[in-house]
Structure 1
């Protein structure tokens, strides 16, 4: 599949990755669907589906509490400016998940990285972009219907994400190793992807065009460290045995992609990581004119499954 000038590969290694993880668990590099769905040109429809799914997961009492919380945030009309598109749609999706958890009696932190939204780092390290994006998404529901505040805060967070880039550049060689590892690097890419969509939203607020949008053209480091929870050389024999017992798709992928230059399990992790990077590049490279042209508000009241009490 091709979008613009960026080639987007098919996910033809998933069968092999599943077998590899059974032998040697390694991080799941797959982006959270909220990112890919809410920052796409189909965001309004995706948000409506997500809103319905979240409400449907609640019992009557939980749904009542959930709806009451939304109404206390957005008021009687229940409309959210630009709520159906881009970063505002993403903020609403995160809010729906948060309020649903609270309605079920779960504790949800109101600071730090938004749980589940980024690639999980088992050591708990997240680049500064993750914290900045999380702050903005938590803020948006409280300012979405205030055009002046939205414009001011969006511009401020665009600058903050630029500062986050500078922080990484200033780490120095002794501290840069973390940013050459698989999970932190992907989370930085998520931050840059979000920053681009934040700029798109700012252009919408200014009634501007995509001509003013500037993309980051940075490339990942040449050497990337992959953290596997096993000794890949020792586990390769077990992996090969699992492949031989697997279906034809897995065996075909093994024959097509695996070489003898390095451990097979390490190659699988690298392939999945690169596949994810290509998919993210496809999303980032979508038609900017089309994305900036989106203007859809979101009607919480009209799409509510529970009673939007007056």
Structure 2
């Protein structure tokens, strides 16, 4: 799997360099998803809320706030808005409203951009439309616990069961664990709404780690053997950072990867998968379940919140 001294930053740097010769996919998932499903989700959401507002001019800020008031009312509080799928849905809502007040055309249905990765055939994962529709709905029912419980139950029932053992390709495996994470937080949110207990949480299934351990097919849009030659030649001419990174990340002694391009792609992919496995395990943990926090739009607004 590569030299253990190859840190994530080096893997990313080397992958970016290698893509000039072999444009394999970018594996990094949505930062929104990672941040909003973390234990620090309320802090991350507040920072995103402020960043979106400061990107607007004063007139746009007023329009942005007015649209939020229309949705959430004068108090400007969002039930459980600082955690889980509600925080995630709010982050997408902020981006959508900001684009609208700038006069951009924004679809109000369909897949949420950037939530999942598109595979080389141009497809998104199973359940992507269901999850996107649910996340688009959440802000409009967040303060109605009865409706929120009913709709969350309904969308959880619509989710198609997974067959992780059939997932073989690089992008598909990343999408699978992203989907498991979102679905898991939907179920955690439903348990909150039902006043359930931590004992009812679904346990983290170590079998899901097979997503990162089983043989993976990497989609390399090149002839890797030819790309290897050009890559090695360019590394020798590169700056010291790239040369040092290659030395840190080259295959261990005795390891024989299919090609260097496969090796470099797998380095970055593995770092992403291990990171996502941690996010998934955390997102359905007792710690995240007991973290229940509303989000105060009014207190964090840059403009006066009309009474």
- TM-score, normalised via structure 1 length: 0.87
Superposed, 1:122-271 pairs within 5 Å as 122-161=120-159, 163-165=160-162, 179-214=167-202, 215-216=204-205, 217-218=207-208, 219-220=210-211, 222-244=214-236, 245-246=238-239, 247=241, 248-256=243-251, 259-271=255-267
The alpha-carbon deviation at position 206 of structure 1 amounts to: 2.0
CA contact (8 A) 1:144 1:150 kept: yes
1:35 paired with 2:33, answer yes
* Counterpart among 290, 297, 310 of residue 294 in structure 2: 297
Partner of 1:283: 279
Residues in 2 aligned to 1:33 and 1:249: alpha-carbon distance in whole angstroms: 28
The alpha-carbon deviation at position 251 of structure 1 amounts to: 2.3
The alpha-carbon deviation at position 304 of structure 1 amounts to: 0.6
* Greater shift in the superposed pair: 255-264 or 224-233: 255-264
1:309 paired with 2:306, answer yes
* Greater shift in the superposed pair: 80-89 or 199-208: 199-208
- Structure 1 unaligned blocks of 5 or more: 1-8, 170-175
The alpha-carbon deviation at position 35 of structure 1 amounts to: 0.8
CA contact (8 A) 1:180 1:225 kept: yes
- 1:165 is paired with a residue of what secondary structure? coil
1:84 paired with 2:79, answer no
| Residues 183-221 of structure 1: per-residue CA shift (max 9 Å, x gap) | 233212211111111121122212222221114544338
* Greater shift in the superposed pair: 10-19 or 266-275: 10-19
Q: Structure 1 stretches (4+) deviating beyond 6 angstroms?
A: none
* Counterpart among 73, 95, 99 of residue 97 in structure 1: 95
CA contact (8 A) 2:117 2:124 kept: no
Cα RMSD after superposing both structures? 2.2
The alpha-carbon deviation at position 271 of structure 1 amounts to: 2.0
Aligned residues: 292
The alpha-carbon deviation at position 137 of structure 1 amounts to: 0.5
| Residues 95-141 of structure 1: per-residue CA shift (max 9 Å, x gap) | 00111111112222222221122223353301222111111100101
Residues in 1 aligned to 2:264 and 2:250: alpha-carbon distance in whole angstroms: 12
Partner of 1:57: 55
- Structure 2 unaligned blocks of 5 or more: 1-5
Residues in 2 aligned to 1:255 and 1:269: alpha-carbon distance in whole angstroms: 12
The alpha-carbon deviation at position 10 of structure 1 amounts to: 5.0
Residues in 2 aligned to 1:249 and 1:151: alpha-carbon distance in whole angstroms: 53
The alpha-carbon deviation at position 51 of structure 1 amounts to: 0.2
| Residues 216-273 of structure 1: per-residue CA shift (max 9 Å, x gap) | 5443383432222221111111111232324254122333559543111121112221
The alpha-carbon deviation at position 22 of structure 1 amounts to: 2.4
- TM-score, normalised via structure 2 length: 0.88
1:111 paired with 2:109, answer yes
CA contact (8 A) 2:201 2:286 kept: no
Change in CA separation of 1:160 and 1:10 when aligned onto 2, cut-off 3 Å: farther
- 1:67 is paired with a residue of what secondary structure? helix
The alpha-carbon deviation at position 309 of structure 1 amounts to: 2.5
